[in-house]
Amino acid sequence: MFLPQLLEKTKNGERLVALTCYDASMARLMATCGIDILLVGDSLGMTVQGHNSTLPVNLTDMVYHTRAVANGAAGRAFILADLNFGSYQASPAQAFASAAQLMAAGANMVKLEGGALFAETVQFLTQRGIPVCAHLGLLPQSVNSTGYRMQAKAETAAQQLQDDALTLQEAGASLLVLEAIPAELADRVTRALTIPTIGIGAGAQCGGQVLVINDLLGLTPTPPRFSKDFLQGQGSLEAAIRAYAEAVRGGQFPGPEHSR
């Protein structure tokens, strides 16, 4: 699947369904279940490698897992790969060199964290044929500064986030992940943009939703409030993933209990 096909879904009023994915077998299953976006997230540092943050993940890790996921999906889902910490912050040229490796491994788009500071980088990448997904709100790569908590609760911070979103859209970003922000702000930002938003802990009004697969399967010892164990009551991994996709597309997930 390529970017125009993905965006066509949103133009038709469909909610985008995304899940993190790190290996070929799960990619094959997710594609079979109709998951739109397979996010090869640097969250693998925590879910796969056992670290307490995403910061130890390197570009070699990201390329390896992106290639595995792309092989498993075999063109039946859109592959979004994270630019890991330290692989893009120095300069647009560094970001391009890193992104080029992920694209060669099978990614259809790369994701980077941060606001207007990275507008030049977004423009640099998109002008060179690399689609970009921006990421605002809770930024896991900045956890040492912010901690894992709700962001942009004050109006000043909320307005800054909205301004950053508009700047990144103007720079060429095609998607925007909103993580752990008030649902009202996510709705406001979504309405202000022309590109789709994908929420995680940001309420139900985004243009799509993403979850970490380990949270969806009840494998996280202390799951975040915005997640849901979709395996509970289901008979298989496939049934759990299909239940999640149906709940997102039907507007049943996330519910009020998954938002703040």
Among 164, 110, 117, 159, smallest CA distance to 136 is for 164
* Spatial separation of the C-alpha atoms in residues 34 and 72, rounded to whole Å: 14
- Residue 32's CB is within 10 A of a number of other CB atoms, namely 14
Q: Which of 14, 179, 184, 238 is catalytic?
A: 179
The residue type of 50 is: G
Locate tokens 């943009």: which residue? 193
In degrees, rounded to 5, the angle at the alpha carbon of residue 111 between the alpha carbons of residues 109 and 112 is 145
Question: Can 8 be counted among the known catalytic residues?
Answer: no
Closest to 187 (Cα-Cα) out of 152, 215, 213? 152
Which two tokens mark 183? 């649902």
> Would you name the residues annotated as active-site residues?
179
